[in-house]
Structure 1
Amino acid sequence: MNEQRQVITNRVAFLEQKIPGYAAALGIAGLVVLWEIVCRMNIVPPLFLPAPSAILTAAWDMLVNGELIENLLASMYRIGAGYAIGAICGIAIGLILGFSRWADAILTPIVYSIYPIPKIALLPLIILWFGIGEMPKVAIIALGVFFPVVINTYSGVKTVDPILIKAAVTFGSNHLNVIRKVILPGALPMIFAGLKLAAGTSLLLLVSAEMIAAQQGIGSMVLHYGNLMITTKLMVGVLFLSLLGLIFNRTLQWLERKLIPWK
């Protein structure tokens, strides 16, 4: 009897885990089917809203001729490099600001005063500093990632229980061990919240930078086909931007489960 109850409990738990995923997939599938029906009934002209089947056909053509891969690789390099630089620097500076009173007093007001500036507005200045090339795009993405990460890391460090820090110091831990074994694990939930927020910001800055100062990339491709009013290929770019955002989000969720199993 107990074994049967355990089996039933396990099945219920399994369904509870799987149902949200199935519901999300069904919702997306239903939206795509409705979209296709609306387009095939000519309720909306194809120029303004191409059908999903037409978008997939255009995506396949662009994939075969190499155009899509070329632009996608350019965008992935920029967002990958910029995100990594901004995230690493943001976590490091956030830990320093949260742990050091002097750094907190001197640097935190500077961080909060610069944070509200729209980062894309700094692109002309960054181009002036670094010239035309990949560096300005990577730098503007890194800046956009840095500030949400540094602020969330700083907030996460401040939420760590001071008693735990005092206990670690009492038992002879040096500053490095206190940061590595007490402060960093305690701040990880807030750090990942900042990383997720920065992922969306990095995509926005990627598209903006590529539309302003790039010949290749998904953003440049979207702008090009928008100017030509080829909306099927424009929507291919939008589709792959959404896929990039989804991959970013899922990767961060997976890392969060691995690094914060107690959450």
Structure 2
Amino acid sequence: MAGLTLPTPLLRMLPIAGVILFWWAMASSGAVRPFLLPSPIVVAERILADVASGTVFVNVGYTLYRALTGFAIAAAIGTTIGLLMVVSRTAKWFFDPIVSVGYPMPKISLLPIFILWFGLDDASKIAMIAAGCIFVITANAYAGASGVERQFVWSAQMLGASRLRVLTDVVLPAATPQILTGYQIAIPVSLIITLVTEMIMGGDGLGGQLLIASRYANSPAVFASIVEIAIAGAIVVNGMRLLRRKLLHWHEENAVSTD
């Protein structure tokens, strides 16, 4: 008799189910006070209350709007700079030192400057998110474009392709996997920076909701906010993974079985 094989999505959920089961066991054992570790049931009830009131949708909407807007700005600028650094010596001379210095720098240190420039509204938060994502996207775009086989470029040039056609028809498709890797790294970074800025500056959003819950020492609301943040993050990260798979349907990485 063949053994029972669970579908892959269910197998991926088993570790999460294990964590929730351990959480419930610890909360029910009495070893930890309910204030420090509320039961998953209590937290689930709070999440359902947020869903019923519509609060969760408003906060998720604000957070994703800021995160995805900042990410989109960084993706457009960072990808362009990374590609320009490969095709233009002047661009590489200008941007390479900036990227080298800016990449390892803690970007959150720029937040006071953005607050001075843009105030306490969404503009400063989005600027902070874009600044936090742009360097990793630029670095990956440059690495992908500079790693393209020279034979492909030379063949296109021998056939009379202009520099622009070589960039759009040869370099960009070949560099796309590495560029998308940069996007996959930057997406969770954008969410992290969004939550940090919301917690520092307040206002609507999941980070602001978490801040308010912690100020009032509302333990179930704190844990509910954390779960909501985790769910929103998982949706965005997996959405980017599916987008990568769709865009790279022709690539060898999608031809390998992952059973």
TM-score normalised per structure 1: 0.89
CA displacement at 1:91 relative to structure 2: 0.9
Amino acid aligned to 2:173: P
- Measured in 2, the distance between the counterparts of 1:99 and 1:236 equals 49
Amino acid aligned to 1:180: T
Aligned residue-pair number: 247
- Measured in 2, the distance between the counterparts of 1:27 and 1:241 equals 18
CA displacement at 1:20 relative to structure 2: 4.4
- Measured in 1, the distance between the counterparts of 2:197 and 2:111 equals 8
Q: 1:23 aligns with which of 11, 16, 25?
A: 11
Amino acid aligned to 2:221: K
TM-score normalised per structure 2: 0.90
Structure 2 partner of 1:60: 48
- Kept in 2, the 8 Å contact 1:157–1:183? The answer is yes
- Measured in 1, the distance between the counterparts of 2:228 and 2:143 equals 33
Structure 2 partner of 1:242: 230
Unmatched 5+ residue regions in structure 1? 1-14
CA displacement at 1:19 relative to structure 2: 5.2
CA RMSD of aligned residues (A): 1.6
CA displacement at 1:51 relative to structure 2: 1.6
Alignment of 1:154-233 (within 5 A): 154-233=142-221
Amino acid aligned to 1:148: V
Identity %: 31
CA displacement at 1:85 relative to structure 2: 0.9
CA displacement at 1:63 relative to structure 2: 2.0
Secondary structure of the corresponding residue to residue 49 of structure 1: coil
Alignment of 1:56-205 (within 5 A): 56-205=44-193
- Kept in 1, the 8 Å contact 2:202–2:211? The answer is no
- Measured in 2, the distance between the counterparts of 1:243 and 1:180 equals 37
Amino acid aligned to 2:214: G
CA displacement at 1:23 relative to structure 2: 2.0
- Measured in 2, the distance between the counterparts of 1:258 and 1:72 equals 25
- Kept in 1, the 8 Å contact 2:188–2:233? The answer is yes
- Measured in 2, the distance between the counterparts of 1:20 and 1:60 equals 27
